[in-house]
Amino acid sequence: MNQFYVSIIFLGIILILVSLVAIAFDRKKFNNLSKQLDRKREELISIIADAEQMVEELNKFSDYMITQMNLKNEELSGNLKLVEEKLAQLDTKAHEACGTTACPEVKAVNSASALPSSVLRQLSFEGKSDWVIDSLGSVSGPAPFGKDENKEKIVPMNTKHKKVLQLADKGLTHTEIARALSMGKGEIQLILELNK
């Protein structure tokens, strides 16, 4: 009977050793998994940080582009204003030279002081003045004398632009609108700037 008890004790010791080995194996596997999880977490944090930095750089670039566009717009407005003033002076001089009789057609003005070098100086007077700007793209038609210089900007709107304007009317910030519509902050600023 003694042998029976010894064999049961021996079997119990073997089971305990197998259990301890299994526990050690599971613990090692858990440690490996936890190390992998930590590594993946660090990679994900790094990717998120890079993405945030890229978004920040894109926002800075879009801010720079908006600033440059506004500067170019102001420069263009100033040039157009100068052209309109020169055209008005030329129109007045042409009508003064003609007096009350019908004016013959007056063609190109070639003096360097008449218009900026970026403007093609091609004018004709038949009651109204026509003008063309070549280095800024072809712009032609009667000069808008007597019209308000702050013309309302006409911007075609698609559904995203409408949503941007609606969210801005609700008081959301540029960043909140950009997140809501998955658009760049600079694009939001541009849309809102153009629709003022």
Please report, as a single letter, which amino acid is at residue 15: L
What pLDDT score does 3 carry?
84
**Quick one: pLDDT at residue 116?**
42
The residues, ordered by sequence, that sit 6+ positions from 105 with a Cβ below 8 Å of its Cβ are 124, 125, 126
Domains of the chain: 2-151 (no CATH), 152-196 (1.10.10)
pLDDT digits (tens, 9 = 90+) for 26-43: 999 999 999 999 999 999
Three-state SS for 81? helix
- Chain centroid, CA 97 distance in Å: 51
User: How far apart are alpha carbons 152 and 11 in whole angstroms?
Assistant: 94
pLDDT of residue 48: 94
pLDDT at 121: 35
pLDDT of residue 113: 39
Q: How far apart are CA 106 and CA 65, in angstroms?
A: 41
User: Distance between CA 37 and CA 154 in Å, rounded?
Assistant: 54
**Residue 111: its pLDDT value, please?**
38
Average pLDDT (126-132) is 39
pTM, entire model: 0.35
